[in-house]
């Protein structure tokens, strides 16, 4: 703690206390018997430096495009920006602080795995090297600002051949004391690829029922097809995958049944595979889901199976 001293006597006392700390604790204790009453008699000659604990704020004047309520990762969100490749995302804001601003950051990154939304499904796989590879939109833009008020009007261009899907959009401002509001101004983007906005479809021949039970160690057979209006591999993001959710906890896990669509896959992909239920899986109620993305990462409607895992 620093002390601010307002007269020469107190300045001497403050310096004397600093020197006594180097001499030894016994000497320090003895001297304090005399110094403390003197400080009290002199009143409020020394006081604590003020500490800035107030976070800066963001006054939102406008956005391009205007956001709307939409579904993201199975939940409704009040502020979602809908864009397509080649569009422009812009904001007009005023950053404000009680003492001094120092920096603001704009962060845009994909939310394909639904992180921060109670668990995700989409697997992380090595993208095949195919024609017309899409671009995941990523922005990390950091700028210095100063003063107590800073108006900022800024725009960002969505890549034309963007990977479709959900993205996060975060504006963060920091003052000189390091204060910020990390969870404010955190929004979702729903982005389409202009070359293809038609989602693929999954049809199932097996299992015959969407509700069944299976013992640990037994296998479940999944057979059917994924179909689309164009090649499922065009763009590099095509994949079929199996995931499951433990209903008692809501936790979702992707299995090792993941099938990327390479350049040999056209508009239809036939599948027939078995998934062995792990012996380590806890018994109970689960929801298995088959999911698929096409090449630009349009997501097919999930096919769900209610499965009771037993010993």
Compute the average pLDDT of residues 41-47.
Answer: 48
Query: Is the pLDDT score of 144 beyond 80?
Result: yes
Q: Which two tokens mark 63?
A: 């956005």
Whose tokens are 């005399």? That residue is 34
Q: 287 near 307, Cβ under 8 Å?
A: yes
User: What is the set of domains in the chain, with CATH numbers?
Assistant: 3-48 (no CATH), 57-192 (2.60.40.2550), 201-310 (2.60.40.770)
- In 3D space, the residue among 117, 138, 113, 114 whose CA is nearest the CA of residue 239 turns out to be 113
Query: Is the pLDDT score of 14 beyond 90?
Result: no
What is the pLDDT confidence band of residue 195, given thresholds at 50, 70 and 90?
very high
pLDDT at 15: 54
Compute the average pLDDT of residues 293-300.
Answer: 95
Query: Is the pLDDT score of 189 beyond 60?
Result: yes
How much of the chain, in percent, has pLDDT values that exceed 90? 72
More confident residue, 33 or 255: 255
What is the pLDDT confidence band of residue 184, given thresholds at 50, 70 and 90?
confident
pLDDT at 3: 40
Cβ contacts of 47 within 8 Å, gap of 6 or more: 3, 4
What is the pLDDT confidence band of residue 116, given thresholds at 50, 70 and 90?
low
Give the least confident one: 11-20, 83-92, 171-180, 186-195: 11-20
- 235 burial (CB, 10 Å; 0-12 / 13-18 / 19+) is buried
Q: Which two tokens mark 51?
A: 């500490």
Mean pLDDT estimate for the chain: 86
Query: Is the pLDDT score of 122 beyond 90?
Result: no
What is the pLDDT confidence band of residue 11, given thresholds at 50, 70 and 90?
very low
The model's pTM is: 0.78
CA distance 208 to 190: 34
Compute the average pLDDT of residues 22-44.
Answer: 49
Compute the average pLDDT of residues 289-310.
Answer: 96
Query: Is the pLDDT score of 35 beyond 80?
Result: no
What is the pLDDT confidence band of residue 41, given thresholds at 50, 70 and 90?
very low
Q: 158 near 136, Cβ under 8 Å?
A: no
What is the pLDDT confidence band of residue 120, given thresholds at 50, 70 and 90?
low
More confident residue, 274 or 26: 274
Compute the average pLDDT of residues 121-128.
Answer: 64
Query: Is the pLDDT score of 306 beyond 50?
Result: yes
């Amino acid at each position: 703690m620093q002390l601010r001293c307002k007269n020469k006597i107190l300045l001497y006392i403050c310096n004397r206390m600093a020197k006594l700390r180097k001499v030894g604790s016994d000497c320090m204790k003895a001297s304090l018997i005399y110094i403390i009453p003197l400080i009290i008699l002199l009143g409020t000659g020394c006081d604590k430096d003020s500490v800035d604990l107030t976070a800066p704020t963001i006054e939102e004047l406008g956005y391009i495009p205007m956001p709307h309520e939409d579904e993201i990762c199975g939940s409704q969100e009040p502020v979602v920006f809908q864009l397509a490749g080649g569009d422009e995302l812009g904001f007009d804001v005023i950053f404000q602080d009680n003492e001094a601003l120092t920096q603001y950051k704009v962060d845009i990154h994909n939310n394909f795995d639904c992180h921060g939304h109670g668990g995700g499904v989409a697997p992380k796989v090595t993208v095949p090297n195919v024609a017309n590879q899409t671009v995941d939109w990523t922005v990390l833009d950091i700028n210095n600002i100063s003063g107590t008020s800073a108006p900022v009007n800024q725009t960002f261009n969505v890549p034309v051949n963007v990977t479709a899907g959900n993205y996060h959009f975060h504006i963060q401002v920091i003052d000189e004391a390091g204060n910020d509001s990390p969870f404010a101004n955190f929004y979702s983007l729903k982005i389409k690829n202009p070359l293809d906005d038609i989602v693929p479809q999954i049809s199932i021949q097996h299992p015959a029922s969407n509700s069944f039970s299976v013992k640990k160690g037994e296998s479940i057979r999944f057979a059917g097809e994924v179909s689309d209006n164009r090649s499922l591999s065009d763009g590099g993001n095509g994949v079929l995958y199996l995931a499951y959710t433990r209903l008692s906890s809501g936790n979702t896990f992707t299995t090792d049944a993941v099938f990327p669509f390479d350049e040999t896959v056209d508009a239809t992909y036939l599948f027939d595979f078995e998934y062995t239920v792990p012996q380590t899986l806890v018994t109970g109620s689960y929801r298995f889901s088959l999911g698929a993305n096409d090449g630009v990462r349009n997501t097919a409607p999930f096919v769900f199976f209610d499965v009771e895992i037993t010993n």
